[in-house]
Amino acid sequence: IRHSEQHYFQLANFDLLTGLPNRVKFHERLSHTLVQAQRTHSRFALIYLDLDNFKAVNDRHGHEAGDLLLIEVAQRIQRCIRKADTVARLGGDEFVVILHEIKDQQDAGTAAQNLLDALAKPVALPGSTYEVSVSMGISIYPSDAQTSDELLKRADRAMYASKSLGRNRYHFFTTELLTLSFDSSPAPLMPAS
């Protein structure tokens, strides 16, 4: 019975492919982080990551190659963040990082740049090597939003700003983003040279 309970806990809270917390577990951790930050009057950041042109990998090389890419991306993200931080897979090619107890916006920018650098290294897939890029959006508590849902929505909005500016970059949320519409049509994925 204990083994079955553990198995169902894993299925309910963690992504089967990457082993990362899933959407359910992420929201639980985000709520906990928010309560803690309110209590200690501290800041934290959300980084919303979306792989650029992931669909092209699945279309050209199949879902097995796409899965291998997602696993590699998950591992690289985990290696970039502190043990106290959280990385989760929301689904598809979307990941999110909670950066706990940051001093300022620059801390979040440094972490995002480290992620960009780590993910820029070519990934070997069956039959080819590809350069993968990622677009990221960052929101910060308490300056950008006071609730979990708003923080996530605003990090997502900033991620679309990154995509509209040419991809493979990060963008901080600003209130101006609330009035803009973004074109998210995919650009071609290029093999690594």
Catalytic residues, by residue number, are 93
* List of E strands, 103-156: 123-125, 128-130, 134-141
Rounded Cα distance, 140 and 172, in Å: 9
Buried b (16+ CB within 10 A) or exposed e, 12-46: ebbbeebebbbeebbbebbeebbeebeeeeebbbb
Query: 182's torsion region: left (phi>0), alpha (psi -120 to 50) or beta?
Result: beta
Q: Judge contact between 21 and 97, C-beta under 8 A.
A: no
The residue length of the chain stands at 193
DSSP label at residue 187? P
